[in-house]
Chain A
Amino acid sequence: MQVYFFHLMPYGDLDIAEADKYNSAWVTIPNTNFDTQKGMKLYNRYIGELELADQLGFDGVCVNEHHQTAYGLMPAPNLIAAALARSTKQAKICILGRALPLVNNPVMIAEEFAMLDHMSGGRIITGFVRGIGSEYFSNSVNPTFSHERFYEAHELIIKAWTDTGPFSYQGKHYQFDYVNLWPRPVQTPHPPVWIPSQGSKETIVWAAAPERKYTYLQTFSPYPLALKAFNAYREEAQKMGYEAQPSQMGWAVPTYVAETDEIARRELKDHIEVFFNKFLRFPSIEMRLPPGYSSISSTKTLMELKFKNRTSSTIDTLIDNGMILVGSPETVRQRIEHCQKEMGFGHLMAMLQIATMPADMTERNIRLFASEVMPHLQGAVKPQLRAIA
C-alpha cells in the first residue's frame, strides 16, 4: 500500500462563534472573517507540514482545489504544488484535483501540469474533478454544462499531452486553432490521472474504462458507501474484461493517532466536529447540488443519501459510520488493514490535519502516524486480488 498525506489547508483560525452568524462556510460567508496575517502563517505552516511528510517517507503529498471557502485555501493548488516541487525530494506531488469545467482554457491546465512535471522531476500525479456544486456559484460556470465540459476538457488535456503539436481542437465548449505544448510533460505517455469522487456511478464507470483505467479516489464517505464504490469499480472493470488492481483505487480519510484510543478521541473531538459541522456547512442543498450538475436521478439519490435528515456529526457517529480513523497507532493500523482487505484499495490518503487542528498537534499526528502506522502499511498490499463480493 502507498501512503499519502492529503492536506486541505483550511482556514484553521476561523472564529467559530463569528462564523456561526452565517449559515455557510462557502461562497457567502464574508471574507472579513479572513485575517491575512494569520493567513500568511497558515500557508507557511501547511507547506511545512507537507515537507515534513516528504522527509518522513510518505509516498506522496496531496493538495486540492476549492474556491471561496474557509474549508480550504487553495483556489490555485498548482501554486502550492510548485512550492513543493522545489522543497520536497522523494514524495509524489498529487494535485487532486483541478476542477476542469470551471475553466475556459483547459490547455492552461495541461500547460501548468507539464511545468510541474518538469519542476518536480516527474513526480506529479494529477487529478481531474468537476468541482463541487458551490463552485458553480463561485465561478459563474453554468452547472448544466458541467459534465459536457468535464469530458471535453479532459479529452483536450490528454490530447495536448500526447498528440504531436501543433494541432487544432474544435469542440462544443472549447475551440483552439493551435494546441502545441511547450513543455510537453515528462512522464509518458502523460502524468497519472486520478479521479477523486464521492461515489457517483457515472464517474466510476468512466474512470474504470479500459482506455483510461484511472485511479479512483473515494473521498469523505461513510465506510459502506466507500466499499460500495470500490466494489462498483471492480465490477465495472470485470464487465469491461479486466481485473482492477489495488493501484487503481485510493481511499481518502481523516486520520488521527495518539498514545491511546481515549487520548486520540479526546484530542480530535472538537476539531473533527468543527470540520463536519462548520467547515462543511452550506446554506442549502441548492448550493451543494445546483441545477443540472448531476442527472435528475443522481440528484434525487444524493438528496436522499447525503442531505435528508442530516443531523450534526459527533465524533462517535463519525467513528460508527467509518468516516474517520482515530485511535492508538495499533487501533488505526488494524482498522486500515481491515478496511484494505474489505475494500481492496492500494492508496491510502490520510488527512492528518483537520479544520482547527493546531500546528503542534498536527505535527505529533504526522510523526506518530509516520513512525508507528505507516511502516506496517507501505508495501503491505499483496498483489493477489480478492473476489468480488
Chain B
Amino acid sequence: MRETMVDVRGTNVRMLEAGTGPSLLFLHGIDGPSADPLFSELSKSYRVLAPEMPGFALSPIPDWMMNVGDAAYFTMDLIAALGLPQVHLAGHSIGGWIAAEVAIRSTHALASLSLLAPAGVMPREAPGHDVFLLSGDESVRVLFHDQALADQELAARAGDPLDIILQNRAGLARLAWTPRMASVILPQWLHRIDIPTFIAWGREDRILPFSTHETFVREIAGAHFLELPGCGHAIPVERGAEVARAMGAFMNGAR
C-alpha cells in the first residue's frame, strides 16, 4: 500500500492507496483505515483509495466536524480535491453511514455506492452491546462471529499504540454518540440515492443488528443485497475476499 497526504482545503488527510483501475474510495469503519483482505482483493481490479477520516487514527477531531453531515461534506470535498470524475464510493460501519450521507446529498460524482454493515439507521431491536462501553479484548471479539479470526486480529493489534485506539474512539463518538451509531432522519432521505447500490450485512452482527439492512434495502431503489451467514460486524476481515469479489462483479455491471 502506498501512503500519501492529501490537502483538502487546509485539512491534511492521510491516504492509503493500492492497485490500478477505476477509482474506489473506501471509508473505514470504527477501527480506522486498514481492512484486509477486502483491500488486497479489491486492489486487483481497482485503484483503492482509503482516507483516514479526520478525528481518527493520527488526526485530531477538527473544530468544524460537529456531526456526520460534516464528515459527508468533507468527503465530497475530498473527492473534488482528488480530481476523481466518477468514483465508486464504499464504506464500512461508520464509513458506510458517511458514504450514505454523501449519496443523499449528491450522487453527481459517484459511479456506485457500496455499504458494508453501514451505521446510520436506528436498529429495530436493541443491539447487544453499547459500542462505547466495550473494554479491552471484548471490544474486538464482539466484532467477529468467527472467534479464531478475532484471536488473529487481537494478536495483530497487540502492538497498536494506545493513542490511535483512543483517537479512533473519540472520532467515532463525535459522529455517533447520540443517537448511538444512527440518525433519526437518514431513512427519510435514502430514497434520493439514485445510483447502483450494493449492500452487505453479516447475519451475526452484534454491533448493528442484521435486520437493520431492511431499511436500506427498502428505501434505496434497486439496491442489491448480499446476506452473509456466519459473519459478524467485521465484514472486511471476516469475509473480505468474498465481499470484494461480489462488489467487483456488481460495480462491473454498474459501469
**Chain A interface residues (CB < 8 Å from chain B):** 136-137, 140-144, 283-287, 290-292, 296, 299-300, 303
Give chain A residues whose Cβ lies under 8 Å from the Cβ of B178: 140-142
Q: Which 6 A-B pairs have the closest CB atoms?
A: A291-B169, A284-B135, A291-B173, A292-B170, A142-B177, A291-B170
Q: Which single residue of chain A is at the shortest CB-CB distance from B164?
A: A296
Nearest-CB distance from A76 to chain B (Å)?
21
**A137 with B133: CB separation less than 8 A:** yes
**A292 with B61: CB separation less than 8 A:** yes
Query: Could you list some 15 contacts between A and B, CB below 8 A?
Result: A142-B177, A143-B173, A144-B170, A283-B133, A284-B133, A284-B135, A286-B132, A291-B132, A291-B170, A291-B172, A291-B173, A292-B169, A292-B173, A296-B167, A296-B170
Give chain A residues whose Cβ lies under 8 Å from the Cβ of B135: 284-286
New contact pairs (9) apart from A140-B178, A144-B170, A292-B169, CB-CB < 8 Å: A142-B177, A144-B177, A284-B135, A291-B132, A291-B169, A296-B170, A300-B162, A300-B166, A303-B162
- Residue from the set B134, B166, B172 with the largest chain A CB neighbour count within 10 Å: B166
Give chain B residues whose Cβ lies under 8 Å from the Cβ of A300: 162-163, 166
Separation of A143 and B174 alpha carbons in the complex (Å) = 8
Give chain A residues whose Cβ lies under 8 Å from the Cβ of B166: 291, 296, 299-300
Separation of A8 and B130 alpha carbons in the complex (Å) = 29
Give chain B residues whose Cβ lies under 8 Å from the Cβ of A296: 163, 166-167, 170
- Residue from the set A296, A300, A303 with the largest chain B CB neighbour count within 10 Å: A296
Separation of A292 and B162 alpha carbons in the complex (Å) = 14
Nearest-CB distance from A203 to chain B (Å)?
19
Cβ contact of A290, chosen from B61, B162, B163, B173, cutoff 8 A: B173
Per-position 1/0 for B217-254, Cβ under 8 A of A:
00000000000000000000000000000000000000
**B170 with A287: CB separation less than 8 A:** no
Separation of A342 and B162 alpha carbons in the complex (Å) = 36
Separation of A284 and B132 alpha carbons in the complex (Å) = 10
Nearest-CB distance from B71 to chain A (Å)?
13
Nearest-CB distance from A151 to chain B (Å)?
13
